[in-house]
């Protein structure tokens, strides 16, 4: 893991750039393979907060998604989340603009696992990039996310699609 720099950085083969900051660590390819052993759903790039409690994963999926379908996704995808994720406690879906592009945002919480005492928080940010689905997944528990929210938001607000 290396400390990320403050200048725009291209993320591997992804046609986008971000402006990471010194409070974020970048997972190497080997680190990503270790953290995501299954090749299916393995992200293309992952940042972690300094305390290693919140991750921001970038995944450019093969699934087709056109820009004009993002608003429909906001309406339809919550049912998919509820069917695939057990015990969803809260779920909020909205449409927002990041870096001049429309994104579908899904924020949901689930009860903690046995070893953790705080609800788990997941945020999916989804947009169309080159006609395909780009997904940013922000994951951590509620307390850790709250503590790291400013750093995470600075990163997500810096995303620029090329």
CATH number, domain of 69, equals 3.40.1000.10
79 is a domain residue: yes
Lateral strand order in the sheet of 160-161: 9-10, 16-18, 160-161
2 is a domain residue: no
144 is a domain residue: yes
83 is a domain residue: yes
Per-residue pLDDT of 122-161, as tens digits, reads: 999 999 999 999 999 999 999 999 999 999 999 999 999 9
8 is a domain residue: no
d(CA 1, CA 74): 34
Note down the domain range covering 40: 16-161
| The two three-digit tokens of residue 72, written as one number | 């429909």
User: What total number of domains does the chain contain?
Assistant: 1
**Model confidence band, residue 116 (pLDDT cutoffs 50, 70, 90):** low
Per-residue pLDDT of 12-58, as tens digits, reads: 788 898 987 888 998 988 989 998 888 888 999 999 999 999 999 99
**Model confidence band, residue 1 (pLDDT cutoffs 50, 70, 90):** very low
76 is a domain residue: yes
Question: From the DSSP assignment, how many helices (H) and strands (E) are in the chain?
Answer: 3, 11
pLDDT at 11: 80
Confidence (pTM): 0.91
6 is a domain residue: no
25 is a domain residue: yes
């Amino acid at each position: 893991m290396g400390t990320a720099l403050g200048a725009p950085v291209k993320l591997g083969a992804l046609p986008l750039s971000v402006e990471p900051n010194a409070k974020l660590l970048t997972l190497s390819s080997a680190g990503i393979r270790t953290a995501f052993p299954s090749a299916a759903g393995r992200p293309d790039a992952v940042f972690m907060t300094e305390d290693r409690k919140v991750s921001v994963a970038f995944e450019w999926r093969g699934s087709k998604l056109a820009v004009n379908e993002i608003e429909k996704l906001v309406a339809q995808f919550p049912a998919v989340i509820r069917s695939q994720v057990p015990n969803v406690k809260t779920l909020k879906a909205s449409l927002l603009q990041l870096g001049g592009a429309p994104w579908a945002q899904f924020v949901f919480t689930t009860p903690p696992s046995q070893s953790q005492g705080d609800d788990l928080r997941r945020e999916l940010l989804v947009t169309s990039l080159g006609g395909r689905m780009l997904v940013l997944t922000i994951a951590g528990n509620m307390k850790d996310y709250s503590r790291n929210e400013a750093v995470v938001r600075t990163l997500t607000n810096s995303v620029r699609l090329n």
